[in-house]
Structure 1
């Protein structure tokens, strides 16, 4: 019997603004009933999503956040080499981002990106690439290198440019994790306590591949959603009102995947997830 009663997936957004059409929240219970969108039609804010996790989410929920909870550390022995304030672990990084962005509205992170020392490590719009960004696709976490070995195509969390960038989501997500950490354990920074709800990092493409999508073509169309859900042991979904967005289908499928895959012991103990990696970079659930 699973220790979790519910499974949630939150597609995240780092965009500027009070409310984000890119945020979608899906939830399913143990069993085979299809996931449903939480508050369908609602345009979520980041604070809304945090409040739901802290106050509205069912007890004993495994909740996946589609964001990077940390930045590369292991490759250079620091998040921000040559910066005296470079944090020593992920929790200190969350605190630094939140402190420097305390006046940024809507849990955004613009002030961190614009900080003269932090900016040296980011690729930003307008052709602005920090002298310590590293070139190419940018620095990657150990879990992202493992993603590449599984045939995925991760982006560096230090890249803030392009449709596939995840850096803005990661930085805004760190502000949320900083606020959630004393109420909800966050794996693998915290071990699974064995009861209660637990946050993990997700990568929605992992769910799509597990459901039968081809590498490089992991978005789920409305017409194929039920086939993909079926591959994960889920009943057909209740049709959505209005347009099917990628955010909605990604969250629905990934909630079903969390339910389907969470009992696999190897996903909780991947070989590359050393104690140093756990405390500095974290890990993406589903990467082995």
Structure 2
């Protein structure tokens, strides 16, 4: 497949209008460094931005740093014991949207407070009786992330600075709105035109660029340029400020540009048809 644009989005689950953790970087085909689209983003802004790409049929590969679904394969359901547990990813997004539609800023507070849903999550001061303990449940591709020496977190864990569940839930509401407008891999067949959205793990891009284990964040221009060079990218335009959200997005956009032509990444060995419908997959995990 050929793409003209590569966009990486560092996401946030913070339940405010303009989370500090949202960052968007854009690269074009070639070797010019990705450019940070520097503005105070809201999730609604990003939804509108992606909707415009869909309307223009821009051939963009979009990486979104969140988990698009919960574990399913380990228990045969997202929420075992709940008769409303959805059968696949798009139905899950619809359920999160329906139960959270009154929450502003695409938050999902109402979903995790639902009498049945809350039983499956570890929340501050409230660990549900169906949360299995330990590190919680993981998707198949998250076991693949761990095999690559990364440190995935269960989406059912909503406690701690490194939790990803809140981001994933807010992202599911956005995916629900994008359904049918943008091809969402691997839940949808890959479209021959227009944008394609994939799940990314920004730490994977950093690791593949040569960042050694134990260092997780890029907070200076020199380090960013060194890692960009590993992906064949020219040096970046200096930023007004360096934070890990901006640098993660810039590096991930450069990584997407180098990996898009690798057929094996579109057909990972562990991705079955059932997983493609239910759990999805992290782009770049074999």
The 2-side partners of 1:154 and 1:216 are apart by: 14
Tell me which of 47, 50, 53 is aligned to 2:44.
47
SS at match of 1:10: strand
Q: Does 1:37 align with 2:36?
A: yes
Q: 1:81 matched to which residue of 2? A: 80
Which consecutive aligned stretches of 4+ in structure 1 deviate over 3 angstroms post-superposition?
none
SS at match of 1:205: helix
Q: How many residues align?
A: 283
Q: 1:255 matched to which residue of 2? A: 253
SS at match of 2:157: coil
Give the superposition deviation at 1:214: 1.4
The 2-side partners of 1:136 and 1:270 are apart by: 28
Q: Which runs of 5+ in 1 are unaligned?
A: none
Q: 2:271 matched to which residue of 1? A: 273
SS at match of 2:184: coil
Q: Which runs of 5+ in 2 are unaligned?
A: none
* Equivalent residues of 1:12, 1:65 under 8 A apart: yes
> What TM-score do the two structures reach when normalised by structure 1?
0.96
Q: 2:167 matched to which residue of 1? A: 169
Q: 1:213 matched to which residue of 2? A: 211
Give the superposition deviation at 1:245: 1.0
The 2-side partners of 1:272 and 1:124 are apart by: 31
Give the superposition deviation at 1:56: 5.0
Q: CA RMSD in A?
A: 1.1
The 1-side partners of 2:34 and 2:216 are apart by: 19
SS at match of 1:251: helix
The 1-side partners of 2:85 and 2:107 are apart by: 20
**Deviation larger for 272-281 or 217-226:** 217-226
* Equivalent residues of 1:47, 1:106 under 8 A apart: yes
